[in-house]
Amino acid sequence: MIQIALLGHLIGKVTGKRLSVIMLQPNQGLEHINKMFESGTLKTHIDGPFSFEDIPREMARFGRGEHIGKIVINVV
């Protein structure tokens, strides 16, 4: 990660790929989100569960943006 942060621009010029490090901000408002979830005003969307054999098809759906929420695969 340090190499990408320091040398990403140079590596990008050589490889033709854009490299960067994204810094995430700490989660804010989690208490509010938790209250919404507990009160039932926040709805989660899960697409699945699907079997392990369905992974190629589901990855293709994900790539096309046809999924709803998180895709869940059963690995048993």
Average pLDDT, integer, range 14-30: 76
- Six token digits for residue 48: 């699945």
Say what the pTM is.
0.45
% of residues, the chain, pLDDT over 90: 26
Res 19: pLDDT = 67
- Six token digits for residue 8: 């990403």
Banded model confidence at residue 37, pLDDT cuts 50, 70, 90: confident
Enumerate the domain spans of the chain. 43-76
Query: How far from chain centre, in Å, is Cα 9?
Result: 25
Of residues 13 and 50, the one with the higher pLDDT is 50
